[in-house]
Amino acid sequence: MCGIDTYVKMNEIKTNEGEEKRSLNFIEAIVEKDLAEGKNDGRVQTRFPPEPNGYLHIGHAKAICLDFGIAERYNGVCNLRFDDTNPVKEDVEYVDSIMEDIKWLGYSWNKVYYASDYFQQLFDFAIQLIKEGKAYVDEQSADVIAKQKGTPTQPGIESPYRNRPVEENLALFRRMQAGEFEEGRMILRAKIDMASPNMHFRDPIMYRIIKEHPHHRTGTTWKVYPMYDFAHGQSDYFEGVTHSLCTLEFEVHRPLYDYFIDLLQKGDNYRPRQTEFNRLNLTYTVMSKRKLLQLVKEGKVNGWDDPRMPTLGGLRRRGYTPQSIRNFIDKIGYTKYDGIIDAALLEHAVREDLNIKAQRVSAVIDPVKLIITNYPEGQVEMMDAVNNPEDPAAGTHPIAFSRELYIERGDFMEDAPKKFFRLSPGKEVRLKSAYIIKCTGAKKNDNIEEIYAEYDPATKSGMPDSGRKVKATLHWVSAEHSLPAEVRLYDRLFTVENPSEEKEKDFQEFLNPDSLVVLSHCRVEAELQKAKPFDNFQFQRIGYFNVDPDSKDGKLIFNRTVSLKQSF
Ligand code: ATP
Ligand code: MG
């Protein structure tokens, strides 16, 4: 795990002018070398190949920024290609959400490609390999085939069906596609080398029968479906992809990728190459689609876009901006080593982006009434509240000040210790954008019910300085002029850094029971009346919040994107 400083050091170099500039990552270096050597006639083409079996997560964003980013940087093309080779798990709902998420990140594509567009070509290629004696139909059970695989140090055992005559293989494969056999009854395997030190070369499966699930695009046309290893490289080749970038776990698949490309390649100056980079793993979350799906299906979260999820939909709903995610991805960089990134780094990125962009507003999330006893009843003054001190062009907005206000319960203490600089009897504080007040007492039953104070009219904010120094500035809203709101506070979804690490325990045992706290009696200033879903704000002194799309019929709901400062 690395801290923020380490990342800056690893991935940025200072130019002479002192401005920060990122050095080439190792993949950009490979692309530049290929271009310099005139490979692929100077073309750069990448692809982003999601399987439509779930929603995209922040890990996918790392792949998206690389695939689309490389294409942008080298005037190339990046294809969006759905790797839709398993109809059992795939659905159009996922296809649609994936397109929406990529667009949201700020990338676009010319045409959507699907591995299923190549089913006929792949089928024909399989027939060719059968004819060349490079593939055969195996009728053994999956268990037996698995047992025969051997181990990395022990050669596998050849299937008794391995030397079937070509004609028999052809007839059986065609009958598999005709739907004559049940699922699992037989498979098509490549005939390579059962003794290869690379397990993926031990007669890998090329095709399996799937009949019970229609495909979301090809319906019931196909009864046999290609495995990833028999579809991916070939799809790259059919499309003209030059740089096929994927995560490190595919490194061991690369020889097989090259093996099939060798059989396809027609001796021109074009050849796709696979390069692997490290996956993104984040602390306190899980990144596997299978696990995320489980959380959704079992109701442990409120859907794929629950703001606690590491999905792009979840992050968007939480208030993350596309720019913050892209900045984060840029910071962490691409390497050849797997690791786990501190979630604080992602939070830092959104804080940094929202600091520049988010309008400052007043919201009191745990309200207690403050009465300014010497302020005339019925009087209202419109104060000028600065929209963003980081951006003078953002201007100001009016906020109503009156005799009865709300402040945070935690900003008052009856018997305050010396170091408590906020409100307590006899003490002075400034009310942001308004006056200095002095606390005169409080009404108490079990809890503090009301706090009393007197204001000094000579200390109005923006007026010539009264010369008085106070140690704290509190935010507040006017009781009458503020709006009721619900605020949802999120914490990490898991209580441990790496919930997937402990193999003996189910990752769900580490779910944080307090990952969502709903505060339903908050008060926000009237300025927020015009806020729209997904708008970002800084609630002064509290954190960054956005408007949840559940807000409707005048009911305002806010999500806490992140607190103002790192809290751990
Ligand atoms: P999961 O393991 O979560 O099910 P996947 O790798 O099967 O994910 P795909 O839809 O196949 O999901 O992924 C599409 C692309 O995104 C692949 O090229 C994959 O390498 C990349 N990708 C997936 N997860 C990550 C990650 N955590 N970090 C970086 N890239 C990723
Ligand atoms: Mg995959």
Q: 66 in helix, strand or coil?
A: helix
pLDDT of residue 21: 66
Q: Which of 279, 409, 460, 541 is catalytic?
A: 279
Check 51, 72, 454, 497 and give the catalytic one.
51
What CATH class is the domain 119-228?
Answer: alpha beta
| Token couple for 291 | 């696990």
Q: Is the dihedral of CA 202, 207, 213, 218 positive or negative?
A: positive
How far apart, in whole angstroms, are the C-alpha atoms of residue 325 and residue 48?
17
Domain with CATH 3.90.800.10 in the chain: 119-228
Residue nearest to atom 27 of ligand 1 (CA): 59
Are residues 336 and 277 in contact, defined by beta-carbon separation less than 8 angstroms? yes
Structure confidence at residue 2 (pLDDT) = 40
Q: 359-563 sits in which CATH class?
A: mainly beta
pLDDT of residue 391: 93
Pocket test for ligand 1, best of 57, 58, 60, 280 (most atoms within 8 A of CB): 60
- Token pair recorded at residue 96: 């649609």
Cβ contact 231:122 at 8 Å: yes
Q: Residues spanned by CATH 2.40.240.10 within the chain? A: 359-563
CA–centroid distance, residue 507 to ligand 1 (Å): 19
Respond yes or no: is residue 289 known to be catalytic. Answer: yes
Predicted confidence at residue 552, as pLDDT, reads 87
| 50 Cα: distance to centroid of ligand 2 (angstroms) | 7
Rounded Cα gap, residues 158 and 288, in angstroms: 34
For residue 51, which atom of ligand 1 is closest to its CA? 10
Q: Report the length, in residues, of the chain.
A: 568
Per-position pLDDT tens, the chain of length 568: 444 433 433 344 343 444 456 789 999 999 999 999 999 999 999 999 999 999 999 999 999 999 999 999 999 999 999 999 999 999 999 999 999 999 999 999 989 999 999 999 999 999 999 999 999 999 999 999 999 999 999 999 999 999 999 999 999 999 999 999 999 999 999 999 999 999 999 999 999 999 999 999 999 999 999 999 999 999 999 999 999 999 999 999 999 999 999 999 887 789 999 999 999 999 999 999 999 999 999 999 999 999 999 999 999 999 999 999 999 999 999 999 999 999 999 999 999 999 999 999 999 999 999 999 999 999 999 999 999 999 999 999 999 999 999 999 999 999 999 999 999 999 999 999 999 999 999 999 999 999 999 999 999 988 876 667 899 999 999 999 999 999 999 999 999 999 988 778 899 999 999 999 999 999 999 999 999 999 999 999 999 999 999 998 889 999 999 999 876 4
Q: State the amino acid at position 548 in one-letter form.
A: D
Q: How far is the CA of 521 from the centre of ligand 1 (A)?
A: 41
CA 277 distance to own-chain centroid: 18
Instruction: Give the per-residue pLDDT at 20.
Output: 52
Rounded to 5 degrees, what are φ and ψ at 561?
-75, -50
Longest distance between any two alpha carbons in the chain, whole Å: 101
In angstroms, what is the span from residue 289 Cα to ligand 1's centroid?
A: 9
CA nearest neighbour of 476 among 319, 345, 362: 362
Task: Please report the atom of ligand 1 found closest to the CA of residue 249.
Answer: 20
Among 48, 247, 325, which is best to mutate for testing ligand 1, by the most ligand atoms less than 8 A from CB? Answer: 247
Beta-ladder partners of 544: 538, 562
Catalytic residue list contains 279 = yes
Nearest CA to 431 out of 386, 482, 470 is that of 470
- Which contacts (CB < 8 Å, 24+ apart) does range 323-330 have? 323/353, 324/349, 324/350, 324/352, 324/353, 324/354, 325/58, 325/61, 325/105, 325/349, 326/61, 326/65, 326/105, 326/106, 327/352, 327/353, 329/61, 329/62, 329/65, 329/280, 330/11, 330/22, 330/65
Residues 290 and 266 sit within 8 Å (Cβ to Cβ): no
Question: What are the distances in angstroms from CA 454 to CA 367, 375, 433, 438, 459?
Answer: 19, 8, 16, 5, 12
Q: How far is the CA of 237 from the centre of ligand 1 (A)?
A: 20
Q: Enter the DSSP assignment of 544.
A: E
Model confidence pTM above 0.85:
yes
State the pLDDT at residue 466.
64
Pairing of strands 536-539, 543-547: antiparallel
- What's the DSSP call for residue 301? S
What residue owns the CA closest to ligand 1's atom 26? 59
Three-state SS across 400-457? EECCEEEEEHHHECCCCCCCCCCECCCCEEEECCCCEEEEEEEEECCCEEEEEEEECH
Ligand 1 shell residues, CB under 6 Å: 49-51, 59-60, 62-63, 83, 246-247, 279-280, 287-290
